[in-house]
Amino acid sequence: MFVQTKKYDGCRHNKLGSWCYFKSIREYEENKRLQALLCQLQDQEKNATEIAIQGARIVGHRIQTNSTGKPYAEYHLEIYTKNHGTLDVWHRYSTFRNLATTLRVKNGYHGQDIPELPNKKWFGNLSPSVIQERTVRLNAFLRAAVAAENLQWGIRVDDNTCAFKRRVRGAMPLGDASTPGHLYSCDNSERESLASTVAASEAPSPRSTSRSSMFASFT
């Protein structure tokens, strides 16, 4: 096969016909640079308005009653944010358990580094010992969920507000099949991934008619 040297689009390299390997490499690197810049600009816009979770822990509980007069426990969650101070939120145990279950089975996480939260008991859910045990387990789960760089999830603060823990830029979900050097996507697929990760958390508890407050869609 004859390889010739000729000038093509400003370069002078050995090439087959009109195709230039070095020109393609330059275009690829420039495309990567522009995509990285776009991601950076999108992150700046997102971080300016989004409530970003930096830490979370259970600091107390209270006993409430539902519409039929049945008592249940709500746990006091403190959320430490990057740009909105500390937020106080109340959620039921089933809310956190739904999130834990979702993170353990979705997107190839397969339970790695995510502590399991046991099912509710048939009796004694409001006893001080059970509430204390759950508080310990919930805090272990929250520490792991916040610290895991490959995880992203959201939790509802109120009817109009959600807080988010985002995957660290460049950290791939466990089990991701991407090859080394894969450029992290920052388009709508990231939002879809976040939505799918937490969607199951909206499911009602099988032993309760109350609705979970986990965020189920990214808007």
At residue 60 the predicted structure's pLDDT band, cuts being 50, 70 and 90, is: very high
Contact indicator for 79, 155 with CB cutoff of 8 Å: yes
Q: What is the mean pLDDT of residues 135-151?
A: 92
The pLDDT tens digits of the residues spanning 64-113 come to 999 999 999 999 999 999 888 999 999 999 999 988 888 877 655 555 67
Q: Check whether 44 has a pLDDT greater than 60.
A: no
Once rounded to an integer, what is the mean pLDDT over residues 173-192?
40
User: What homologous superfamily is domain 47-202 in, according to CATH?
Assistant: Phox-like domain (3.30.1520.10)
- On whether the CB atoms of residues 109 and 103 are closer than 8 A, the answer is yes
Q: Where are the beta strands (DSSP E) in 66-217?
A: 71-81, 86-92, 153-158, 161-165
pLDDT recorded at residue 206: 41
Termini Cα distance of the chain: 56
Report the run of H or E that residue 8 belongs to, with start and end. strand 4-8
Q: Pick the residue with more confidence: 42 or 167?
A: 167
d(CA 181, CA 178): 8
What would the mean pLDDT of 49-62 be, rounded to a whole number?
A: 91
DSSP state at residue 166: P
d(CA 105, CA 52): 24
Reduced to 3 states, what is the DSSP secondary structure of residue 117? coil
